Amino acid sequence: QFSFQENGWGAFLAERLVRKCDVVNRGLSGYNTKWAKLILPRLISKSAGAESTVAVTIFFGANDSALKDLNPKQHVPLEEYAANLESMIQYLKSVDVTEDRIILITPPPLQESAWEKECLAKGDRLNRRNATTGEYAQACVRVARDCGTDVLDLWTLMQKNEDFSSYLSDGLHLSAKGSSFLAAQLWERLEKKLSTLPFLLPYWRDVDHTNPEASLL
């Protein structure tokens, strides 16, 4: 949901693709795969032009991996999380969005000390663990491998930098730097898929000003 904020990764993609296609943001703060699986048909369907969809990203796990005893509302068991991702992929395929147009994104790592401060400020205990989030990230990678989709393993990539705290604004959500990191990694994958997309309309210098209809209609 925050990806279209200033310096957000969704806004970055929209700016890059402004003359080629629309970037539609259907991220919903706080949602998990159990809920996303149910609403996906409302977001992407054959009647809504699924056949013209050039890429879909599925980015879940940070909420699913919340600890069951401390955050039962958002928690989704690991195996169910994997099954939900697979179900979403199968649904997309059923409306003609093929595997090569789907990119799974794992949850980012959790910076526990920073997130614990956020939890304590609300009177709660630390309700997530980075090691647990990592298990969900690994499951996401497995689903992508088994289903033949692309995957961006954000959890692993961000931790190649020993101190990954700067990628997160509060230990859980992406900071501007983290969003830029995700955008760059995602663009490497999307650029290949979208390189053949034509410009929607000609560059202004190429419009015949004496007869614009010939160029624009």
Look at 49 and 17; give whichever has higher pLDDT: 17
**Within 10 A of 200 (CB to CB), how many other CB atoms are there?**
10
Confidence of residue 6 (pLDDT cuts 50, 70, 90): confident
User: What residues contact residue 83 under an 8 Å CB cut-off, 6+ apart?
Assistant: none
Copy the structure tokens of residue 25. Answer: 């943001």
Distance CA 87, CA 160 (A): 31
Judged against a pLDDT cut of 70, whether residue 50 lies above it is answered with no
Pairing of strands 150-152, 102-105: parallel
According to the model, what pLDDT value does residue 213 have? Answer: 93
Residue of 49 and 5 predicted with greater confidence: 5
The two three-digit tokens of residue 41, written as one number: 């048909």
The CATH number of the structural domain formed by 9-215 is: 3.40.50.1110
Q: Give the C-alpha separation, 59 to 151, whole Å.
A: 10
Q: Which residue has the tokens 């990230």?
A: 137
Q: Is the pLDDT of residue 37 over 90?
A: yes
pTM across the whole model: 0.92
Cα separation of 84 and 78, whole Å? 10
Q: Does the pLDDT at position 45 exceed 90?
A: no
Q: Which of 61, 71, 185, 202 is nearest to 135 (CA)?
A: 61
Which residues touch 186 (CB under 8 Å, ≥6 apart)?
9, 13, 57, 103, 105, 152
Over residues 93-139, the pLDDT tens digits come to 999 999 999 999 999 999 999 999 999 999 999 999 999 999 999 99
Tell me what pLDDT residue 5 has. 87
For 135-148, how does the pLDDT look when each residue is reduced to its tens digit (9 = 90+)? 999 999 999 999 99
Give residue-wise pLDDT tens across range 167-181.
999 999 999 999 999
Q: Using one digit for the tens of pLDDT, what is the confidence trace for 60-92?
A: 999 999 999 999 999 999 999 999 999 999 999
Q: What's the pLDDT score for residue 48?
A: 66
Residue 1: predicted pLDDT: 83
Provide the percentage of residues in the chain whose pLDDT is more than 70: 98
Residues 6+ apart with CB under 8 A from 70: 124, 125, 126, 127
Q: Rounded mean pLDDT of the chain?
A: 93
What backbone torsions phi and psi does residue 157 show, to the nearest 5 degrees?
-60, -40
CA distance 89 to 83: 10
* Angle 10-12-17 from CA coordinates, rounded to 5°: 95
Closest to 112 measured CA to CA, from 30, 181, 159, 170? 170
Question: What pLDDT band is residue 49 in, cutting at 50, 70 and 90?
Answer: low
Which pLDDT score is estimated for 46? Answer: 79
| Cα–Cα distance measured from residue 86 to residue 90, given in angstroms and rounded to the nearest whole number | 6
